[in-house]
Homo-oligomer: A and B are copies of this chain.
Amino acid sequence: MALIVQKFGGTSVGTVERIEQVAEKVKKFREGGDDIVVVVSAMSGETNRLIGLATQISDQPVPRELDVMVSTGEQVTIALLAMALIKRGVPAVSYTGNQVRILTDSAHNKARILQIDDQKLRADLKAGRVVVVAGFQGVDEHGNITTLGRGGSDTTGVALAAALKADECQIYTDVDGVYTTDPRVVPKAQRLDKITFEEMLEMASLGSKVLQIRSVEFAGKYNVPLRVLHSFQEGPGTLITIDEEESMEQPIISGIAFNRDEAKLTIRGVPDTPGVAFKILGPISAANIEVDMIVQNVAHDNTTDFTFTVHRNDYKNALQVLEQTAREISAREVIGDENIAKVSIVGVGMRSHAGVASRMFEALAKETINIQMISTSEIKVSVVIEEKYLELAVRALHTAFELDAPARQGE
> Once the chains bind, are B143 and A99 in contact (CB under 8 Å)?
yes
* Nearest opposing residue in chain B for A75, CB measure: B72
> Once the chains bind, are A54 and B80 in contact (CB under 8 Å)?
yes
Report B-chain residues with C-beta under 8 Å of the C-beta of A78: 68
> Once the chains bind, are A57 and B83 in contact (CB under 8 Å)?
yes
Report B-chain residues with C-beta under 8 Å of the C-beta of A61: 83
**Least Cβ–Cβ distance between A360 and chain B, in angstroms:** 51
**Least Cβ–Cβ distance between A93 and chain B, in angstroms:** 8
> Once the chains bind, are B76 and A72 in contact (CB under 8 Å)?
yes
Complex Cα spacing A50 to B79, Å: 11
Complex Cα spacing A69 to B43, Å: 13
Complex Cα spacing A56 to B68, Å: 26
Task: Identify A84's interface contact among B57, B79, B96, CB under 8 A.
Answer: B57
Report B-chain residues with C-beta under 8 Å of the C-beta of A65: 79-80, 82-83, 86, 94
Q: How many residues of A contact B (CB 8 A)?
A: 36
A288 at the A/B interface (Cβ < 8 Å)? no
Complex Cα spacing A56 to B76, Å: 13
> Once the chains bind, are A57 and B96 in contact (CB under 8 Å)?
no
Report B-chain residues with C-beta under 8 Å of the C-beta of A66: 79, 83
Complex Cα spacing A324 to B99, Å: 52
Complex Cα spacing A122 to B144, Å: 17
> Once the chains bind, are A80 and B53 in contact (CB under 8 Å)?
yes
A47 at the A/B interface (Cβ < 8 Å)? no
For A390-405 the 0/1 string (1 means CB < 8 A from B) is 0000000000000000
> Once the chains bind, are B16 and A53 in contact (CB under 8 Å)?
yes
**Least Cβ–Cβ distance between A280 and chain B, in angstroms:** 40
* Nearest opposing residue in chain B for A74, CB measure: B72
A295 at the A/B interface (Cβ < 8 Å)? no
> Once the chains bind, are B57 and A80 in contact (CB under 8 Å)?
yes
**Least Cβ–Cβ distance between A19 and chain B, in angstroms:** 7
A304 at the A/B interface (Cβ < 8 Å)? no
Chain A, range 47-100, C-beta contacts under 8 Å to B: 50, 53-54, 56-58, 61-62, 64-66, 68-69, 71-72, 75-76, 78-80, 82-84, 86-87, 93-94, 96, 98-99
For A239-269 the 0/1 string (1 means CB < 8 A from B) is 0000000000000000000000000000000
A20 at the A/B interface (Cβ < 8 Å)? yes
A54 with B72, Cβ < 8 A, contacts A86-B62, A99-B143 known = no
A87 with B75, Cβ < 8 A, contacts A53-B16, A68-B96, A143-B99 known = no
Task: Identify A69's interface contact among B16, B76, B145, CB under 8 A.
Answer: B76
The CB with the most chain B CB atoms within 10 A, among A53, A79, A84, A99, is that of A79
Question: Chain A: residues with CB nearer than 8 A to chain B?
Answer: 16, 19-20, 50, 53-54, 56-58, 61-62, 64-66, 68-69, 71-72, 75-76, 78-80, 82-84, 86-87, 93-94, 96, 98-99, 143-145
A58-B83, A66-B83, A99-B144 given; name 13 further pairs at CB < 8 Å: A16-B56, A53-B80, A54-B83, A57-B84, A62-B83, A62-B86, A65-B79, A68-B79, A69-B79, A75-B75, A96-B145, A98-B98, A99-B143
Q: Can you report 24 A-B residue pairs in the complex whose CB atoms are below 8 A from each other?
A: A16-B57, A50-B76, A53-B76, A54-B83, A57-B87, A58-B84, A58-B86, A61-B83, A62-B82, A65-B79, A65-B80, A65-B82, A65-B94, A66-B79, A68-B79, A68-B82, A68-B94, A68-B96, A69-B79, A71-B75, A75-B75, A98-B98, A99-B143, A99-B145
